[in-house]
Amino acid sequence: MFIDIHVHCCKARHPKLTRMNGSHYPDPARLIAMMDAAGIDMAVVQTTLSPEWRYTMVTVEETLEICSMYPKRLIPFCSFDPRYLSNDTKANFTPLLEAYKELGCKGVGEIIANIPFDDPLCMNFFAHVEKSGLPLTFHIGPQAGGCYGLIDELGLPRLEKVLQAFPNLTFLAHSQPFWAEISTDVTQGTRGGYPKGPVTPGRVVELLRKYPNLHGDISAGSGYFAITRDLEFGLRFLDEFQDRLHWGTDIANQEQELPIVGFFRKLKSERLISAAAYEKITWRNSNALLKLGLE
């Protein structure tokens, strides 16, 4: 079974509501077709609700509507911008989180606001999410402005501060500036892309070893290349953190290559990781974290 921890979807949009290259989120039917072609059984639909997003927003209500069309295949995550509710460091997100949890949301994300990870607005927001018991998916941006994602510096000091402050909140880590830190050779110039070459274990490894509330979302090119750039290291990494890694694709375009699908099928067919680790990463960890009750 494949449970995809990270996909995107929206209803059909005006053709001008696309990225500059013309690509856009798949509509619900197209997403299901892509999942079928890849052999993906279920997928978490992330909600993107911040003004930094590049071309169109997706509300929680739209995500819930889409997931209700395919309730056995799609799992909704709700999302808020920490500046929501009057841009107030004392904003009460708990009623909203309770409501969306009752409506079926299994997590929070993708959090993409381009403000510091440890901004007081974020710290307030994280406190309410921790209280809700829902996990949270975050995206890190490499700088302030010109991108989307919570701001952190090289070495991820703000992320560590947040992990310390909210030990009962499960953070699903995602994006290039996070996964580039899998190796010590990351630089300011490479952290926003896909560094290549041998890995010397870096901050990602250190933080995963130190903070049990940090989980890895290995979707997208960022997660895939982090694992595959140095296969010998990648296999050790998958084994060591098999209980806190979550397989995914980050489907975000109507046409998209999904190399992580074939890579994991190869891991299984060639027995490059244990059967237990393979099942945990591809579905059991997400099943447990999201309380899906699958057997």
Within a 10 A sphere around the Cβ of 161, how many other Cβ atoms? 14
In order of their start, the domains of the chain are 3-289 (3.20.20.140)
Residues 6 or more apart from 235 whose CB is under 8 A from it? 272, 273
User: What pLDDT score does 112 carry?
Assistant: 96
Residue 20: its pLDDT value, please?
A: 66
> DSSP string spanning 139-151?
EEESSSSSS-SEE
pLDDT at 53: 79
Using alpha carbons, select from 264, 209, 257, 212 the residue that is nearest to residue 235: 264
- Radius of gyration for the alpha carbons in the chain, expressed in angstroms and rounded: 18
- Mean pLDDT by groups of 10 residues along the chain of 295 residues: 97 81 88 98 95 85 98 97 96 98 98 97 98 98 93 97 98 97 96 95 98 98 97 98 98 94 97 98 98 94
Q: Note the pTM of the prediction, 2 decimals.
A: 0.96
**Cβ distance 214 to 188 under 8 Å?**
no
Sign of CA dihedral 88, 90, 95, 101: positive
pLDDT (0 to 100) of residue 57? 87
Sign of CA dihedral 256, 288, 137, 8: positive
Write down the pLDDT at residue 13.
87
CA of residue 281 relative to chain centroid, distance: 14
Helices (H), 133-249: 157-165, 176-179, 203-210, 220-228, 231-240
Is 182 in contact with 208 (CB distance < 8 Å)? no
